[in-house]
Each structure stands twice: as C-alpha cells, then as structure tokens.
C-alpha cells in the first residue's frame, strides 16, 4: 500500500511542462486509454461537461499555419474567458516572472530580449512542434465549478500521459485565438474554448525541457489547525 502511494506521488512530481517534442506519432490507442482514465475525474452529479478535440496530421499543420498567420498579422488575442486575475500579489507575481525568465533562459535568451520573447509566444502557437494538440472546451454557461471539474480532468490527462511516457504542456495563450480554432475544428459558438495542450514524446535533450520552476513551499499555501 505504501509502495503504491509512493509511486503515485512520484508520478505527480515527475510532471512538468515540456516545450520541445520528437517527431514521433502518438498512438491513438494510447490517447484513448488516457482519456478513458481521465474521465474518472469527479464532476457534479457526474455531468462531465468537458469536451476535447484531438488534432493531428494535416489538420494540425493547417491549424498551426492559421494561428501563426493571425499572430504575425498582429491580431490581438480574444480569449473566451480569463486565464488569471487582472492583478497578482507580490509573491505570485514573483513566481510568474521567475517561470518566464527560466523558460527563456533555458532557450538561451533573456527576458529583456523582446524578439526572443515574441518568438517564444509564436512557438506556443505551434504547440512547440508537438505531433498532437488537444483543444478543450466547456458550455458557454459554465460556472466556476465547471472550470474546476475541467481542471481535475486535465490534471488526470497530464498524469496519465506521464505514465505512458509522454509529455505535455497546457496552454491558455492559444485559446486567445478561439475564432481560428472554431473555424478549423468546427467547435460550435455555444462552447467556450478554455485551453489547449501540446502532447507528444518529449525531446529530453532540449535544455528547455530540463527547466523545472521552483514550487511554492508548504508554508506559502498550507495552514495547519490542531
């Protein structure tokens, strides 16, 4: 029992965002098993209101081209929902800045290099070269609890991918181009595009994949009451 618990904890701590992928197709059967397992995430009265569109092959290439074209034109992102509060407290903002700095540094750039930062954003719209992209959506009348349920489902997906030897990177920025995603994938207007996810076999030789941001310590978010 203890051994199983330790294995589960190791799986959780092994997960972190991958931003460079091998040119290797992810088997559809593996993804199907991941989704079936992830579907055991809790939801209110077992409603399971999440939907996932899996994008690969020629459809993914066309989607990436369209996303990059919109970005290169300077089209502003218009997400269907907010990804974070308008303002962050000092500790949270510091962690966010350290994460951005760490990713750019792992790619050989500095946070002050605007061209590099923009190139990184564009790479995000390419799903970092991953062979598979997931687009996740919810009903337009979704409430905070519905987003919580989707988060539980997505965490299950990411952990199951690790168990299958795969890497992933959840992405909010791509959801800012919901009109492009809808046009190419047929997502109806009564659905909110919440996020996307790059999925594939991680290129572990890429320095960016070796960057793991420092996580907050227990004292920063746990209160003990005895």
Question: CA 16 to CA 169: how far, in whole Å?
Answer: 8
Res. 177: pLDDT tops 60: yes
CB distance 67 to 151 below 8 Å: no
127 pLDDT exceeds 50?
yes
Structure tokens at 149: 């349920």
The SS3 call for residue 133 is strand
Domain count, the chain: 1
In a domain, 70, yes or no: yes
Does the CA dihedral 67-72-73-75 come out positive or negative?
A: positive
In a domain, 168, yes or no: yes
- Strands annotated E in the chain: 51-55, 132-139, 167-171, 191-200
Per-residue model confidence as pLDDT tens digits over 97-118 = 899 899 989 988 887 888 988 9
Averaged over 80-84, what is the pLDDT?
A: 92
pLDDT at position 6: 56
On the question of pLDDT at 41 being above 50, the answer is yes
Look at residue 91 and tell me if it is in a domain.
no
**CATH number, domain with residue 193:** 3.40.109.10
Range of the domain at 58: 17-78+127-212
Look at residue 203 and tell me if it is in a domain.
Answer: yes
Question: Does the pLDDT of residue 200 top 80, yes or no?
Answer: yes
Sheet holding 132-139, edge to edge: 51-55, 132-139, 191-200, 167-171
Q: What is the mean pLDDT of residues 155-172?
A: 97
In a domain, 3, yes or no: no
d(CA 51, CA 46): 14
Burial of 199 (0-12, 13-18, 19+ CB in 10 A): buried
Which range among 15-19, 107-111, 167-171, 201-205 shows the weakest confidence by mean pLDDT? 107-111
pLDDT digits (tens, 9 = 90+) for 47-67: 999 999 999 999 999 999 999
* Whether pTM exceeds 0.85: yes
What pLDDT is stored for residue 3 in this prediction? 52
pLDDT for the residue 114: 87
Residue 217 lies in a domain: no
Residue 1: pLDDT band (50, 70, 90) is very low
């Amino acid at each position: 029992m203890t051994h199983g618990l330790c294995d589960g904890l190791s799986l959780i701590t092994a997960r972190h965002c991958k931003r460079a992928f091998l040119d290797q197709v992810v088997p559809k059967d593996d993804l199907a098993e991941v989704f079936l397992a992830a579907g055991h995430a809790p939801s209110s009265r077992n409603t399971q209101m999440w939907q996932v569109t899996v994008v690969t092959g020629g459809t993914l290439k066309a989607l990436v081209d369209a996303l990059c074209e919109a970005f290169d034109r300077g089209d502003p992102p218009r997400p269907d929902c907010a990804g974070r509060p308008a303002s962050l407290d000092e500790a949270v903002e510091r962690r966010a800045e350290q994460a951005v700095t760490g990713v750019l540094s792992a790619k050989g750039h500095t946070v002050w290099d605007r061209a590099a930062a923009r190139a990184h954003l564009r790479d995000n719209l390419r799903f970092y070269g991953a062979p598979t992209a997931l687009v996740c959506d919810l009903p337009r009348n979704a409430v905070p609890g519905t987003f919580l349920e989707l988060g539980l489902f997505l965490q299950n997906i990411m952990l199951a991918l690790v168990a299958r030897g795969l890497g992933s990177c959840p992405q909010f920025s791509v959801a800012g181009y919901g009109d492009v995603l809808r046009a190419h994938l047929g997502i109806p207007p009564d659905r909110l595009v919440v996020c996307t996810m790059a999925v594939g076999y991680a290129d572990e030789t890429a320095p960016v994949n070796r960057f793991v941001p420092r996580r907050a310590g227990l004292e920063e978010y746990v209160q003990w009451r005895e």
